[in-house]
Amino acid sequence: MAETINISCKTPANVADTLSKTTCVQKTHNVDWKLIILGIMAGFYIGFGGAIATLVSSDAAKFVGYGLSRFFVGAVFSVGLMLVVIAGAELFTGNNLMLMGVLEKRVKLNQVLYKWGVVYAANFIGSIFLAWLMYQSNLWKSNDFATGIAALKIANVKIGLTWMEAFIRGVLCNILVCLAVWMALSCQQTVGKIWAIFFPIMTFVALGFEHSVANMYFIPLGIFLKGSGAAAAAGLDLANLGWRNFFMNNLIPVTLGNIVGGAFFVGALYWLVYVRADKKEIA
């Protein structure tokens, strides 16, 4: 007799309950060495998404125009979170949902903040290492430096954002990233997880929102390329493209925005609606 495959999905209330009482608690109690390895892997995976997005952005607009080119860039970038969720890794932005465990009083805030820090540092190591490897590969020289020029343009635009622009784009970004994770958790089959991830991630990239871990790849690659032939060919003013501006003008405000978007607008509000409110109704 053929085996019956369960293709049903969890409801939003089921996902909220699982995250609050099980998943977030388990993540908080993971040993550090596992988090570091999985965090480095996540940095690599998001970096792979950034690498293919950079390649596509190098000439897509010439053929399909600006709007559609943004769609295609976002579409290919989504592979990064697919690798994180389906293959298994620890991503800081998705882990912002761990606040639900604190609200449910299953774990303490200081425990969550510590685990966020471990994963964030590991994501940074993985992302910047992949950026260095891509620089050393010389693949940025392809198509008359088109890929390298695209990488420099991406990094330079991100460095040029005001603090508030970077913060707000970080908030909006991680609402969509955490919704992608949320919907993927509701799916039982891999193909469902792929489609659940694809649309929110494509949307945030196409719209130009800011993801802290992705920027750990994009901006360092631009800094590595600053003295290269691609920089000479780009003809850009790269005076502000440096490590200090990377941290102060982009990474810090984007990271804070990501926390607000994921932990509050998704984690806290859904906990309030689906977990706390249900307890009161039962009582």
Residue 59 to residue 143: CA distance in whole angstroms: 10
Outline where the chain has alpha helix (H).
Answer: 12-18, 24-28, 32-57, 60-77, 79-82, 92-95, 99-103, 109-137, 142-159, 163-186, 190-207, 212-224, 229-234, 243-245, 252-259, 269-271, 277-282
Residue 159 to residue 223: CA distance in whole angstroms: 11
The proportion of the chain whose per-residue pLDDT surpasses 70, expressed as a percent, equals: 95
Can you give the pLDDT at residue 280?
58
Beta-carbon contacts of residue 108 (< 8 Å; ≥ 6 apart):
102
Residue 89 to residue 139: CA distance in whole angstroms: 26
Q: How far, CA to CA in Å, does 32 sit from each of 21, 51, 96, 135, 178?
A: 21, 28, 17, 30, 23
At residue 9 the predicted structure's pLDDT band, cuts being 50, 70 and 90, is: confident
What the chain holds in terms of domains, given with CATH numbers, is 12-282 (1.20.1080.10)
Query: In this structure, are residues 98 and 26 in contact, taking their beta carbons and an 8 Å threshold?
Result: no
Q: What is the pLDDT of residues 15-43, one digit of tens each?
A: 999 999 999 999 999 999 999 999 999 99
Q: What is the pLDDT of residues 175-203, one digit of tens each?
A: 999 999 999 999 999 999 999 999 999 99
Residue 69 to residue 189: CA distance in whole angstroms: 30
Beta-carbon contacts of residue 118 (< 8 Å; ≥ 6 apart):
32, 35, 36, 39
Residue 271 to residue 101: CA distance in whole angstroms: 9
Question: Residue 31, Cα to own-chain centre: how many angstroms?
Answer: 22
The burial of 263, by beta-carbon neighbours within 10 Å (0-12 exposed, 13-18 middle, 19 or more buried), is given as buried
Can you give the pLDDT at residue 278?
62
14-48 burial, b for 16+ CB within 10 Å, e for fewer?
Answer: ebbbebbeebbbebbeeeeeebbebbbbbbbbbbb
At residue 282 the predicted structure's pLDDT band, cuts being 50, 70 and 90, is: low
Q: What is the pLDDT of residues 130-167, one digit of tens each?
A: 999 999 999 999 999 999 999 999 999 999 999 999 99
pTM of the model: 0.94
Whole-number average pLDDT of the chain: 94
Residue 165 to residue 151: CA distance in whole angstroms: 20
At residue 276 the predicted structure's pLDDT band, cuts being 50, 70 and 90, is: confident
Query: In this structure, are residues 118 and 91 in contact, taking their beta carbons and an 8 Å threshold?
Result: no
